[in-house]
Amino acid sequence: MRHPGDPAAFNLGGRLFGGFWESLPRGERHSLRINGERVADLDYSGMFPRLAYLAAGAPMLPPDADPYAIPGLEGHRDGAKKALNALLSRTGPMRNLKGDLKAMLPAGMTAAKLTAAVNAHHPALEPLFGTDLGIDLMYTESRILVAALLRLIREHDIPTLPMHDGIMVPQSSKDTAAAIMREEARRITGVDLPVAEKRLA
């Protein structure tokens, strides 16, 4: 089991972060321009849970499946996403809900009820919850994203803004970028990871 005092390792973490555009609210990203063009915001759909399914050796979710559509959390998708990622990124069971997560969930939700709901919807992932897998998933995510960024600039001269598990590119380049994102995901993981364009405004 890993501990906070362990030496830094290059095969853990690596999520790209720090650009000013990453903290912009989605409703303001429409104002961004690359080479004078509006941007397209491309995203790997449900990347974290899909990579977790891969780590579990379980059949991959269908491309159109929303891993955050968890029964009992209807209307609270952001909370479901945060909860699922938290279960994958913690050590040990979730015993209480922190304020920010609790505020994103239905009234009366407890850590035990939340864990049970997620386990029921994703039984293949239950053995991975509480194992601090998230930092490994971030490494895989960063490998895929860096590979796509390098191909886009080297092969197509397309400037790209990384967005955690996605990228923003000029609108005219979105089809090329989406294809390369899919190709690099398959090359590195051996499975297809769906890519979708997010609405900016």
- For residue 72, being part of any structural domain is answered with yes
Decide if 138 is inside a domain: yes
Same domain, 69 and 167: no
Rounded CA-CA distance 87/16 in Å is 21
In Å, what is the CA distance from 38 to each residue of 34, 174, 201?
7, 11, 12
d(CA 85, CA 158): 31
* 148 and 121 within one domain: no
C-alpha to C-alpha distance for 95 and 111, rounded to whole angstroms: 6
Taking each helix axis from N to C end, the angle separating 134-156 and 77-89, rounded to the nearest 10 degrees, works out to: 110
Assess whether 61 and 96 both reside in one domain. Answer: yes
Tens digit of pLDDT at every position of the chain (201 positions): 556 566 666 566 666 777 888 888 878 888 999 999 999 999 999 999 999 999 999 999 999 999 999 999 999 999 999 999 999 999 999 999 987 999 999 999 999 999 999 999 999 999 999 999 999 999 999 999 999 999 999 999 999 999 888 999 999 999 999 999 999 999 999 999 999 998 876
β-pairing, 166-170 vs 37-44, is antiparallel
Q: Which of 103, 128, 153 is the last residue of a domain?
A: 128
Whole-number Å distance between alpha carbons of 121 and 103: 21
Q: Residue 157: give the domain boundaries.
A: 20-47+134-198
93 with 139, same domain: the answer is no
What string of DSSP letters covers 130-170? TB-THHHHHHHHHHHHHHHHHHHHHHH----EE-SSEEEEE
